[in-house]
Structure 1
Amino acid sequence: MRLDRRGVLATSLALGGAATAAPVPGKIALEEHVIIPSFLDYLNKAMPPVSAEARAVLVRRMLDFGEERLAAMDGAGVSRAILSISGPGVQVEPDTARATRLAAEANDALAREIQRRPDRYGGFAHLAMQDPAQAARELERCVRELNFQGAMINHHTLGVYLDDPRNDVFWERLQALEVPLYLHPDDSFRMPHVLEGVPELHKPTWEWTTETATHALRLIVTGVFDRFPRAQVILGHMGETLPYMLWRLDSRYAFTPTRRPIRRKPSDYVRSNISVTTSGQCDDVPLTAALAALGESRVMFSIDYPYEDSATAARFIEKAAIAEDVRARVMHGNARALLKLRS
Structure 2
Amino acid sequence: MTPKITFEEHFMAPGFESHSAGFLRLIPEAEAQVLTRRLADFDGERIEIMDRHGIARSVLSLTGPGVQGEPPETAADAARRANDFLAAQVARRPDRLSGLAALPMHDPEAAAAELRRAVEDLGFRGALANSPLHGGYFDAPGYDVFWAEIEALGVPFYLHPSNALAVPPVLAGMPVLQGATWGWGVDTGSHALRLLFSGVFDRFPGVKLVLGHMGEALPYLRWRFDSRFAAYPMGVELKRPPSEYFTRNIVITTTGVCSHAALTGAIGEMGARGVMFSVDYPYEDTAAAAEFIETAPLDPATRAMVCHDNAAALLGLPLLAEAA
Question: Is 2:299 the partner of 1:323?
Answer: yes
Distance, in Å, in 2 between the alignment partners of 1:332 and 1:48 is: 35
Deviations 1:247-296 (A, max 9, x none): 01111111114233111111111231011011111111111111111111
Q: 2:125 aligns with which of 149, 159, 163?
A: 149
Q: Which amino acid in structure 2 is aligned with residue 66 of structure 1?
A: D
Conservation of the 8 A alpha-carbon contact between 1:129 and 1:157: no
Q: Which residue of 1 aligns with 2:314?
A: 338
Aligned runs of 1:300-315 on 2, under 5 Å?
Answer: 300-315=276-291
| 1:158 and 2:134 aligned | yes
Instruction: Note if contact 2:2-2:54 (Cα within 8 Å) is conserved in structure 1.
Output: yes
Conserved 8 A contact 1:75-1:310:
no
The TM-score, its normalising length taken from structure 2, stands at 0.96
| Deviating 4+ runs (over 3 angstroms) | none
> Separation in 1 of the partners of 2:40 and 2:294?
28
Gap regions ≥5 residues in structure 2 = none
- 2:50 is aligned to 73
Of structures 1 and 2, the one with the larger relative CO (CA 8 A, separation 6+) is: 1
Q: Residues of 2 paired with 1:338 and 1:215: CA distance?
A: 22
User: 1:25-64 CA distances to partner (integer Å, 9 max, x unpaired)?
Assistant: 5210011000012110111134471012211111111011
Q: In the TM superposition, what is the alpha-carbon distance from 1:75 to its structure 2 partner?
A: 1.5
2:185 maps to: 209
194-203 or 280-289: bigger deviation: 194-203
Query: Structure 2 vs 1, CA of residues 157 and 170 (structure 1 numbering), >3 Å: closer, same or farther?
Result: farther
Partner of 1:64: 41
Asked whether 1:236 is paired with 2:212, we answer: yes
Q: Residue by residue, what CA displacement relative to the aligned partner does 1:172-204 show, whole Å, maximum 9, x if unpaired?
A: 000000000001011111111111222222211
User: CA distance change for structure 1 residues 206 and 175 in 2, over 3 Å: closer, same or farther?
Assistant: same
Map of 2:240 onto structure 1: 264
In structure 2, what is the equivalent of residue 99 of structure 1? Answer: 75
Post-superposition offset of 1:157: 4.4
Contact 1:48/1:203 (8 A) holds in 2: no
Equivalents in 1 of 2:302, 2:115: separation in Å?
A: 32
Residue 243 (structure 1) shift: 1.2
Instruction: Name the counterpart of 1:295.
Output: 271
Which whole-Å deviations, capped at 9, do the CAs of 1:100-138 have from their partners, x for residues lacking one? 101000000000000000000011000001111111011
The 2-side partners of 1:201 and 1:328 are apart by 35
1:28 paired to 2:9: no
Aligned counterpart in structure 1 of residue 163 of structure 2, from 177, 181, 187: 187
SS of residue matched to 2:64? coil
Q: CA-to-partner distance for each residue in 1:290-342, whole Å, 9 max, x for gaps?
A: 11111111111100000001111101000001111100100101011111103
Residue 237 of structure 1 deviates from its aligned partner by: 0.7
How far apart, in 2, do the equivalents of 1:141 and 1:64 lie? 25
In structure 2, C-alpha distance between the alignment counterparts of 1:109 and 1:25, rounded to whole Å: 31
Identity of aligned residues (%): 48
The letter for the 2-side match of 1:330 is: V
TM-score (norm 1): 0.91
1:15 alignment counterpart:
none
Note if contact 2:3-2:304 (Cα within 8 Å) is conserved in structure 1.
no
Whole-Å separation in 2 of the counterparts to 1:312 and 1:281: 10
SS across alignment from 2:180: helix
Is 1:42 aligned to residue 30 of structure 2?
Answer: no
Q: Is 1:174 aligned to 2:150, yes or no?
A: yes
Residue 92 of structure 1: how far off its partner (Å): 2.5
How far apart, in 2, do the equivalents of 1:97 and 1:243 lie? Answer: 37
* Equivalence for 1:274: 250
* Alpha-carbon separation, structure 1, partners of 2:133 and 2:208: 19
Distance 1:250 1:315 in 2: 35
Q: Deviations over 1:201-233 (max 9, x none)?
A: 221101111111101100011111111011001
**Aligned equivalent of 2:101:** 125
Whether 2:227 is the aligned partner of 1:251: answer: yes
Distance 1:115 1:203, change over 3 A: same
